[in-house]
Structure 1
């Protein structure tokens, strides 16, 4: 319905139109809620090694040191794809400029906090 067409006589039609639109929105929201919870399935070390492009022995070493997100049941290691991808993304190295900026902030923080008055 267009805004310029709305009159007092057409008010029931406008309300009916709005009710229809609200019901459609409710259906969309409910269908989205049902589709959202995806079951996470654990993957084994072979798939994990292919995903992060590391050898099995390297993955075992990372798991032993607690460097990689993993779960252990008995003698087997399990991983979740989304956690491994997040782990890769968090491993970004800082640039030279970022490191210098961080050092300057640390130095200035100490000067401002403990300066003599």
Structure 2
């Protein structure tokens, strides 16, 4: 077995494998936009205009979602406020409320039955 003859060969192969795995993780995080904490951190709370931009729909569509209660709202006071991470979760679920989001909406007394 050549590893016993040259343990450095074994270490080099292991290091190469670890580097490949780290590279794959970095690519996966980049795809998921989990690049870590950024200096220009996006605001946690957003308005309907920004939601329409993120969701790539017209502002009137966001207002329709509000009326139907099919979008996670943080506060129904004017102007309506949303949490960015909840909107991202909602979009990731095909613009449908997840059970977690439904529970949050019920707790906030904003769910429409």
- Classify the TM-score, shorter chain: 0.3 to 0.5
Larger radius of gyration: 1
- TM-score (normalizing by structure 2): 0.42
